């Protein structure tokens, strides 16, 4: 087994502002030879660091930051002098992601080979560049692509397929028969392919298990957060399409379909047999009922409860979820309720007073 990228090399390489701008398709305002060797938040940055502003509410930090260079939008107009070199780009946040990917090459350890204490069933081929950590279990019939990384104490069940360049972090579990595409990331504690929640009551009200004989199929470039669960189908498959990103503690129930490039924040939950379209965005703690359809591009605010299907392109919030504008107005009205009740009480007292005045 080989391990690369020792602690001594865990720094971001030195780059000039001009080099970064060229890499990101941006332009430099200030010193093009300004050199950075690390990344930092705008309010914490010091000399030799590169920072960014993607949210206007942090703009005030750019006038006092110690950062050597800062990524900003092309149309950013400073209200005060800025000492840092500015790198103007179309989207600072996306560009930061590109740079973090570059930095990761220098900060993440790279492991290859099979560590002592790992179990790999007879007949399983371990291709070039793969890593199987101590205590990991790779069952019979597993198919691994090149450069797959399986960290310590992960479990890969019988007949599982994992595509090239995918990573399964410590303690994650992939049950038998499930299929994972290329360049996927399964974070620590995630469970792919546990039984769907299927039980049927008898005449006495006792529940009996409905066996879940389907699989989970995860396409390429998917990320599954820590302690997230994706349940296997009752029959057929639970399907996570290409490019989906699931945060930590997300629950995907049996026979759910999630479309390409959809993202879900922590503690979102999707009940059985629901179909979620492509390009959707769900905030934290969103809950979807079962057997409904969510159209492409739907955006749901945090803690939204969704009992019914939603057409493509809608932006909704609340429980039950309503149009985002309607929800915002309702919240505004709620904040005024105390004043409105006080006004009603005042008017009621005034009416009572008027009633006591003798009629002419």
- Residues designated catalytic: 254
Q: Rounded to an integer, what distance in angstroms lies between the CA atom of residue 282 and that of residue 277? A: 12
Q: Rounded to an integer, what distance in angstroms lies between the CA atom of residue 154 and that of residue 131? A: 12
Q: Rounded to an integer, what distance in angstroms lies between the CA atom of residue 259 and that of residue 161? A: 21
Under a CB-based contact definition with an 8 Å cutoff, are residues 300 and 320 in contact?
Answer: no
Q: Rounded to an integer, what distance in angstroms lies between the CA atom of residue 215 and that of residue 169? A: 21
Which two three-digit tokens encode residue 275? 């179909």
Q: Rounded to an integer, what distance in angstroms lies between the CA atom of residue 277 and that of residue 257? A: 8
Buried b (16+ CB within 10 A) or exposed e, 133-163: bebbbbbeebebbebbbbbebbbbbebbbbb
Which two three-digit tokens encode residue 49? 């660091």
Under a CB-based contact definition with an 8 Å cutoff, are residues 291 and 273 in contact?
Answer: yes
**Tally of helices (H runs) and strands (E runs) in the chain:** 3, 40
17, 18, 20, 21: CA torsion to nearest 10: 110
Which two three-digit tokens encode residue 348? 């009621």
Under a CB-based contact definition with an 8 Å cutoff, are residues 118 and 132 in contact?
Answer: yes
DSSP string, 1-20: -EEES-GGG-SPPPEEHHHH
């Amino acid at each position: 087994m080989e391990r690369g990228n020792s602690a001594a090399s865990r720094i971001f390489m030195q780059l000039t502002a001009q080099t970064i701008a060229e890499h990101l398709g941006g332009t430099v305002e200030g010193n093009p030879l300004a050199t950075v060797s690390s990344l930092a938040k705008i309010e914490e940055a010091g000399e030799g660091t590169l920072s960014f502003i993607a949210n206007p509410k942090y703009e005030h930090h750019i006038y006092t930051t110690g950062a050597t260079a800062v990524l900003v939008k092309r149309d950013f107009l400073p209200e005060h002098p800025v000492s840092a070199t500015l790198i103007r780009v179309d989207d600072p946040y996306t560009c930061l992601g590109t740079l973090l990917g570059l930095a990761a090459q220098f900060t993440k350890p790279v492991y290859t080979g099979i560590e002592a204490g790992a179990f790999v069933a007879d007949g399983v081929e371990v291709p070039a560049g793969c890593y199987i950590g101590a205590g990991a279990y790779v069952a019979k019939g597993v198919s691994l692509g090149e450069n797959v990384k399986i960290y310590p104490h992960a479990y890969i069940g019988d007949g599982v397929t994992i595509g090239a360049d995918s990573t399964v972090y410590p303690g994650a579990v992939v049950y038998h028969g499930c299929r994972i595409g290329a360049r996927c990331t399964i974070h620590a504690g995630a469970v792919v392919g546990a039984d769907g929640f299927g039980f049927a009551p008898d005449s006495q009200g006792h529940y009996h298990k409905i066996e879940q004989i389907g699989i989970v199929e995860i396409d390429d470039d998917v990320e599954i957060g820590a302690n997230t669960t994706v349940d296997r189908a009752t029959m057929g498959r639970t399907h996570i399409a290409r490019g989906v990103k699931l945060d930590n503690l997300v629950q995907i129930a049996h026979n759910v379909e999630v479309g390409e490039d959809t993202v879900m924040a922590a503690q979102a939950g999707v009940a059985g047999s629901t179909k979620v379209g492509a390009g959707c965005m769900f905030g934290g703690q969103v809950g979807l009922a079962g057997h409904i359809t969510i159209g492409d591009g739907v955006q749901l605010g945090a803690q939204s409860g969704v009992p019914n299907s939603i057409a493509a392109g809608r932006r909704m919030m609340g429980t039950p979820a309503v149009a985002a504008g309607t929800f915002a107005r309702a919240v505004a009205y709620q904040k005024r309720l105390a004043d409105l009740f006080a006004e009603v009480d005042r008017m009621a007292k005034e009416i009572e007073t008027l009633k006591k005045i003798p009629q002419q």
